[in-house]
Amino acid sequence: MGYATKSPWVIHYDASSCNGCDIEVLAALCPGFDVERFGIINTGNPKHADIFLVTGSVNERNISVVKQIYDQMVEPKVVVACGTCACSGGIFHDCYNVIGGVDQAIPVDVYAPGCAVRPEAIIDGVVQALGILDEKSKALKAAKRGA
Amino acid sequence: MTFINTLIGTVAFAILAPIVGCLLAGLDRIISARMQGRVGPPLLQPYYDVRKLIDKDDVTVSGVDGVYMTCALVFTAFAGGIFFSGGNLLMSAFIITMAALFFIMAAYSSRSPYAEVGAGRETLQVMSYEPMVLLMAVCFFMAAHSFNVGDAFKLNMPVITLIWPAFIGFLFILTIKLRKSPFDISTSHHAHQELVKGTTTEMSGKTLAKVEIMHWCENVLFLGWTGMFFLWGGPLSIILAVVVALAAWFFEIWVDNNFARVKWQLMLKSAWIVALVCGGVNVVFLAML
Amino acid sequence: MTLIAFLIIFPLVIAALLLLVKGDWPRNIIVGISAAVIAVASILLAVQYLGTSHRLFEFSSAIVDYVGTAISIAIAAVIISFGVKYKNKLATALAIVQVVGSLVYEFGFAHAVHEPAGLYIDSLSVIMALIIGVIGSGICVYALGYMIDFQAHEPEGAKDRRPTFFALMFLFLSAMFVIVFSNNMVWMFTGWEVTTVCSFLLIGYTRTDEAINNAFRQIIMNLLGGIGFLVALYIATIQMHTISLDRFILEGLMHPEIAALPVCALAFAGLTKAAQMPFHTWLLGAMVAPTPTSALLHSSTMVKAGVFLLIKLAPLFLVCQVPGTMVILIGGITFMLCSFMAISQTNAKRVLAYSTIANLGLITACAGVGTPEAIWAAILLVIFHAAAKSLLFLCVGTAEHHIGSRDIEDMDLLFERMPRLARFMMLGIMCMFIAPFGMLIAKWATLVSFVETKQVVLIILLAFGSAATFMFWAKWLGKLSGIAGRPQNVEMTVHPSEWISLIVMAAIAIVACIVLPIMSHTMVEPYLVGIYGQLGQDISVDNLWISSILAVFVLVVLFGGVNSSKKKRVGVYLAGVSTDSDTRTYRNSLSGESIATSRNLYLDSIFGEARIRRTGEIVCAIVIIFALVASGVVPPMFY
C-alpha cells in the first residue's frame, strides 16, 4: 500500500441532504469513532483533499458546484457517495428539481448507502475507497514516469 | 571559520530538523488527540502526509508558489544552521523573517481571496511577534555580552537568571510562532475554518509538502531558541535546555487545546503590550545593572 | 581638487545651458552626456581618494565669498517675489530675516575670520559624491522620458516649463557637491540655501494650488532651519573664531560648553532638512511634484544633506549631551511613528515618503548616538537608502504613467502587466527591509550600537518600528506578486531612458548589497578611523559574506526563478461557484455574477495618521524647544 492510503484527507460537501448524513459524517470524526487514527482529516478545501464525501442528492442548483469541487481536487482522488440520497436520489428522487444521485454529476467510486448512513458504513466506504485511491495513485506514478 | 561552521550547520539542520520536527509533529497530534479523549494517528502520520502530498499531481494557480516555498525552505535551513552552529542570534531571527516573507509571497501570488486574507493575517502575525523577538535577542546580548549563541556556554549561569521576564514574553509569542490557538489566525491545523485554509488555500501537492516541512524546521528552531535561555557552563547544560524546550512545547499544546482563536486586534495588542512590559522592563533592568 | 571644482562647476554650466534649450532632442543629448560625465567624474574622484581619511585643500577666494553673498540675495529675491505673488507673509518675513541676517554677517563679522582651507575631502564626502553623482544624475536621465509623458498628461495649453525643471535638477546637484566638499561653513550654508530654494521651485513646478501650498510649507520649514544654521555661524564666528567645519568640530570637542548652542542650532537645521518630526510634513507635501523630483529629494539630495550634516556633527553629540539627546529622541520617535503611519497609507508615494522619513529618523538617531559603531550603521543606511529608494521612486513613477494610478491596491497583477518593472520594484522593496540585503544589515548594526551604548529608549522604539516596517512593505510586496491569467503587457511603451536609469539603480542596489564587506572596509572604515581613530564595524565579516551569498540567491530567484513553470495551471478556489477564475468572478446567490475582491489591511483605526501625527509633532516640538532653551540659556547647569 502506498502513502496515498495512509493519509486520506477528505472534503465533505452537503449537496441537498436533510443533514442526517452530515451529522453522521461529523460523528465519524468525533472521539467515538476517531477516524484520525487512520490519518483521516477533514480539510474543507478541495485542493488539499483526496476523498470527496458527498451527502444528499444532486439538484439543478448545485450540480455545477459538485462538478467544480471535484475538478479542483488534485489527482489522485476518489468520490464516496454517503447515504441513500447521494447514491440514487433516495426519497427526493422525483422532486421537481432533483437530478438524482451524485453519479449524475461526477464519477462515483464507492456507494455507502443508509438513511441516514451509519458512521460504520462511512468508514467502510472510505476504506474501500482507499483501495481505489491506491490504484489511481500507482497509475498516476506510472503515467508520470512514462511522460 | 564562522562561515564554514554555518554551512555545515545549515546542511546538518536541513537533514536533522525535518526528522526531529516530523516526530514532534506526530507526537503533537497524538498528545492533542489524547487531550480530546481520542486515540490519535500513528507517530509517523505527518511523514505519511508529506509523502502523500509529494505523490500528488503537480498543479498550481500562479506557477511561482513552489519557487517561493523552496526559497522559504532554504532560508529556514539557513536560519536554523546559523543558530545551531552557535552563530549570531539576531541573524538567525532576521533570516527566519525572510522565510516568513517568502511564505507570505507564495500565498499572495495566487490572488485567491482566501489566501490573500490569510497572507494579510500572516503579516499581522509577524508584526505582532517581531518586537518581542528583537527584544529577546537584545536581552540575550545584554546578559551574555554576545549575540553568538555559542558564547552562552562560556557563562557561569544561564541567561534565564537575568532575563526571565523576556522568557515569559517569548513564551507568549511562541504561541504565534508555532501557529497554535488562540493565535493561529492565518492558517489552522485543525479541522476546517471559515476561511478555508488561509495562507495555504491554493497550495497543493509538493508545495504544500514544503509548507509542512518548513513548519517542522521552524518548530525545531523556535524550540532551540527556548532552550537557549538555559545554556551555561558546558555542553551538559544542553540536557536541561532540551527538557525545558520540551516542557514549553507541551505547554503550547495544552494552550492550543484549551483556547479558542482570538481576533487579530487582540493578538496584536496583547503581543505588543507583552513585548513592551516583559521585553522593555527587562532591557531597562539590564541597562541599569 | 580639480575634480572637485569640476563637479561643482560643470552641473552649473549645464544648468545654464539647459535653460536655453527648448527642443526635446538637444535636451536629451545634453542631459544624457552630462549625466554620464558627472557619474564618471564622481567615480574617478572616488577612485582617486579611496581610503582618504581627511584632507584639506588650501583654497580661499574673496570672489567666491561675494558670489555666495550674491546667491543669498538672489535666493531671498526669489522667495520674496513668490511670497508677495502668492501672498504668503510668513515665507516673505522669514526670507527677509534670513537675508538681513546673512548680509549683516557677511559685512559685519565674516572678515574677522579668514579660512584658508575652503574645501576638503574625506571618505564620507566621497560616498556622498558617489550618491549624488551616480544616483542623482541617473534620476536626471530618468526624468527625460518621464517628463515627456508628464507633459502629455498635462492639460491642453499648459506651459512647458521643462527647461527650468532640468536646469533646477542640475543646479541641485551642484549645490549638493558644494555642501559635501565645503570646509568653509559659509559656503556650505550657501549650498544649503540653494538646495532649499531649488526644492521649493521643483515642488511648486505645476503651479497648482496644492503644489504652491506645499512648496511654501517646505520653504517655511527649511528657512527656519536655515536661520538655525545662520545662528550657528554667528556663534562660531564670534565665540569660537572659526568658520571652518573641522576647526569647529575640534573646538567643540575641547569646549563643549561653548559648542552646545551652535551644535544645537546646526542640528536643528539638519533636522528640518532631514524632514524629522515635527517638520516631516514638508516631505509628504513634496509628493505633488513630478516623480523625478521626489526621487531626487528622497534619495540623493536634500534630505541627505540634512543627515550628512548630522553625521558630521556626530562626534560633538558624544560630548554635548543636550543636542545629542535631542537628536536621538527626535530620530527614534520619528522612526517609530512614521513607520506606524506608513501602514495606513494606500498611496504608494506616501508609503515611500513615510518610509524615507522613518529611515532618516534612524540615521538621525545613529548620528545622535555618535559612537563609531553607530556612525558605521548611519553611513551604510545612507548608502542603501539612496540606492533602494531611488529605484522604488522611479518604478512607482513609471507604473503610475502606465497603469494610471499610484495606489498600491491598483498595482494588483503588476507582475504580469509590467513583468520587468514589477521585479525591479520587488527588488527595491526587498532591499529596503529584509535580510540579507544591506538596509537590514545596517539596521542590525544600528541595533547593536544602541545596545552597546545602552540607549534603552531607542532599542524599544527600534523594535516596534521595525515590526511596522515589515508590515507595510510585506503587504505591498504581496500585492505585486499576484499572478493570474494573462493580462495585457503594458510595459512596451516605457521610454528607453527610464529603463536605463532603472537598470542603473537596480545594479547599484545589487552591487552595493553584494560588496558590502568591501565597501565597509574601503570607504566607511577610513572615515571612522579619521574621526575616531578606531573601527566601527560591529558585525563580523563572516556574517556579512553570508548575507551577501543569500542576497545573490534571492536575486537569482527573483530574476531567474519566478517565471511561469511548466506545471498544470488551475483556477482559484471560490467555494465551488467560480465562473471565471482569472477575474475571480463567481455566481452569486441570485444567479448573477460578482467579483471577489480583497484589500490589504491598512489598520487605520490603530495606525491612522489622525491618531499618531499630532502626538508625534507635539512631543518632538517639545523636545526641540527644550533642547534649544537648555543649550542656549542654561548651558553651565548641564556641564
Chains that touch C (3 or more CB pairs under 8 A): A, B
Question: Which chain B positions have a beta carbon within 8 Å of C582's beta carbon?
Answer: none
- Give, in order, the Cα–Cα distances in Å from C285 to each of C168, C306, C311: 19, 18, 26
Largest CA distance in chain C: 88
What is the distance between the alpha carbons of residues B68 and B211, in angstroms, rounded to a whole number?
10
B189 pLDDT more than 70: no
ipTM over 0.85: yes
List the grid coordinates of B100: 516568513
Q: Given this model, what pLDDT does residue A147 score? A: 62
| Contact predicate C49/C55, CB 8 Å | yes
Select the residue from C598, C603, C604, C605 to test the B interface by mutation, using most B Cβ atoms within 10 A.
C598
What is the distance between the alpha carbons of residues C596 and C571, in angstroms, rounded to a whole number?
13
The model's pLDDT over C295-338, given as tens digits with 9 standing for 90+, comes to 888 888 889 999 999 999 999 998 888 888 999 999 999 999 99
* Total number of domains in chain C: 1
Kindly state whether residue C462 falls inside one of the protein's structural domains: yes
Select the residue from C439, C444, C460 to test the B interface by mutation, using most B Cβ atoms within 10 A.
C460
Mean pLDDT computed over C480-505: 75
Select the residue from B111, B193, B196, B204 to test the C interface by mutation, using most C Cβ atoms within 10 A.
B111
Question: Which chain A positions have a beta carbon within 8 Å of C575's beta carbon?
Answer: 65
What predicted TM-score, i.e. pTM, was given to this entire model?
0.93
- SS percent in chain C: helix, strand, coil, step 5: 75, 5, 20
Q: How far is CA C68 from the centre of its chain?
A: 25
Residues facing residue C119 across a β-bridge:
C57, C182
Q: Given this model, what pLDDT does residue C397 score? A: 85
| Contact predicate B280/B171, CB 8 Å | no
Confidence at A29, pLDDT banded by 50, 70, 90: confident
Query: What are φ and ψ of residue B196, in 5° steps?
Result: 55, -110
Query: Which residue's C-alpha cell is 545594479?
Result: C507
A26 pLDDT more than 90: no
What is the distance between the alpha carbons of residues C169 and C203, in angstroms, rounded to a whole number?
12
Q: Given this model, what pLDDT does residue C270 score? A: 93
Q: Both ends of chain B: CA-CA distance in Å?
A: 33
The model's pLDDT over C241-262, given as tens digits with 9 standing for 90+, comes to 888 888 888 888 888 888 888 8
The model's pLDDT over C219-240, given as tens digits with 9 standing for 90+, comes to 999 999 999 999 998 888 888 8
Confidence at C563, pLDDT banded by 50, 70, 90: low
Residues facing residue A111 across a β-bridge:
A81
Confidence at B130, pLDDT banded by 50, 70, 90: very high
- pLDDT averaged over chain C? 86
What chain A holds in terms of domains, given with CATH numbers, is 3-138 (3.40.50.12280)
Region of C575 on the Ramachandran plot (φ > 0 left; ψ -120 to 50 alpha; else beta)? left
Kindly state whether residue C408 falls inside one of the protein's structural domains: yes
The model's pLDDT over C383-421, given as tens digits with 9 standing for 90+, comes to 999 988 888 988 888 888 888 788 888 877 777 778 888
User: Which of A108, A119, A64 minimizes the C-alpha distance to A86?
Assistant: A108
Region of C119 on the Ramachandran plot (φ > 0 left; ψ -120 to 50 alpha; else beta)? beta
User: Which of C294, C310, C128 minimizes the C-alpha distance to C218?
Assistant: C294
Q: Does B197 touch chain A (CB under 8 A)?
A: yes
Q: Does B218 touch chain A (CB under 8 A)?
A: no
B164 pLDDT more than 90: yes
| Contact predicate B58/B205, CB 8 Å | yes
Q: Given this model, what pLDDT does residue C635 score? A: 57
What is the distance between the alpha carbons of residues C442 and C385, in angstroms, rounded to a whole number?
10
Nearest to A44 among B40, B59, B196 (CB): B196
What is the distance between the alpha carbons of residues B6 and B87, in angstroms, rounded to a whole number?
7
A79 pLDDT more than 50: yes
C175 pLDDT more than 80: yes
HEC string of C177-240?
Answer: HHHHHECEHHHHHHHHHHHHHHHHHHHCCCCCHHHHHHHHHHHHHHHHHHHHHHHHHHHHHHHC
Q: Given this model, what pLDDT does residue B192 score? A: 53
Report angle CA C371, C375, C381 to the nearest 5 degrees: 150
B283 pLDDT more than 60: yes
HEC string of A70-129?
Answer: HHHCCCCCEEEEECHHHHHCHHHCCCCCEEECHHHCCCCCEEECCCCCCHHHHHHHHHHH
B169 pLDDT more than 70: yes
- HSE on the CB side for C200, CA within 13 Å? 24
Residues B148-157 as b/e (b if ≥16 CB within 10 A, e otherwise) read bbbbbbebee
Query: Which residue's C-alpha cell is 471577489?
Result: C596
Nearest to B2 among C540, C550, C573 (CB): C540
Chains that touch A (3 or more CB pairs under 8 A): B, C
Question: What proportion of chain C, given as a percentage, has pLDDT over 70?
Answer: 97
Q: Does A64 touch chain C (CB under 8 A)?
A: yes
| Contact predicate A10/A126, CB 8 Å | yes
Q: Is C138 exposed, middle or buried (0-12, 13-18, 19+ CB in 10 A)?
A: buried
Residues facing residue B60 across a β-bridge:
C569
Instruction: State which H helix or E strand residue A11 sits in.
Output: strand A9-14
Mean pLDDT computed over C597-606: 84
Number of Cβ atoms within 10 Å of the Cβ of C321: 16
List the grid coordinates of C496: 528607453
Question: Which chain A positions have a beta carbon within 8 Å of C573's beta carbon?
Answer: 45-47, 72
Kindly state whether residue C579 falls inside one of the protein's structural domains: no
Does the beta-carbon distance from C447 to B138 stay under 8 Å?
yes
- HSE on the CB side for B132, CA within 13 Å? 31
List the grid coordinates of B112: 485567491
What is the distance between the alpha carbons of residues C381 and C262, in angstroms, rounded to a whole number?
26
Confidence at C534, pLDDT banded by 50, 70, 90: confident
C454 pLDDT more than 90: no
Question: Which chain C positions have a beta carbon within 8 Å of A47's beta carbon?
Answer: 573
Q: Given this model, what pLDDT does residue C540 score? A: 78
Name the 3-class secondary structure at B158: coil
Q: Given this model, what pLDDT does residue C173 score? A: 92
List the grid coordinates of C58: 588650501
What is the distance between the alpha carbons of residues A103 and A80, in angstroms, rounded to a whole number?
10
List the grid coordinates of C423: 521585479
What is the distance between the alpha carbons of residues B202 and C379, in angstroms, rounded to a whole number?
43
Greater model confidence, B45 or C534: B45
Q: Given this model, what pLDDT does residue C639 score? A: 47
Rg of chain A (C-alpha set): 15
Look up residue C489 and give its DSSP letter: P
Indicate the range of B59-63, B183-187, C140-144, C604-608 predicted with least confidence. Answer: B183-187
Q: Given this model, what pLDDT does residue C88 score? A: 87
Nearest to A48 among B40, B42, B204 (CB): B204
What is the distance between the alpha carbons of residues C264 and B204, in angstroms, rounded to a whole number?
60
Number of Cβ atoms within 10 Å of the Cβ of C28: 17
Kindly state whether residue C445 falls inside one of the protein's structural domains: yes
The model's pLDDT over B73-96, given as tens digits with 9 standing for 90+, comes to 999 999 999 999 988 899 899 999
Q: Given this model, what pLDDT does residue C490 score? A: 66
Confidence at C526, pLDDT banded by 50, 70, 90: confident
- Give, in order, the Cα–Cα distances in Å from C582 to each of A25, B36, B111, C28, C484: 34, 42, 9, 41, 5
The model's pLDDT over A55-66, given as tens digits with 9 standing for 90+, comes to 999 998 889 999
Residue C491 structural domain: 2-564+599-638
List the grid coordinates of A117: 448512513
Confidence at C23, pLDDT banded by 50, 70, 90: confident
List the grid coordinates of C554: 534571492
Name the 3-class secondary structure at B203: coil
Does the beta-carbon distance from B61 to C571 stay under 8 Å?
yes
Does the beta-carbon distance from B112 to C572 stay under 8 Å?
yes
Confidence at C361, pLDDT banded by 50, 70, 90: very high
User: Which of B83, B84, B122 minimizes the C-alpha distance to B102?
Assistant: B122
Confidence at C430, pLDDT banded by 50, 70, 90: confident
Does the beta-carbon distance from B197 to A43 stay under 8 Å?
yes
- pLDDT averaged over chain B? 90
Question: What proportion of chain A, given as a percentage, has pLDDT over 70?
Answer: 99
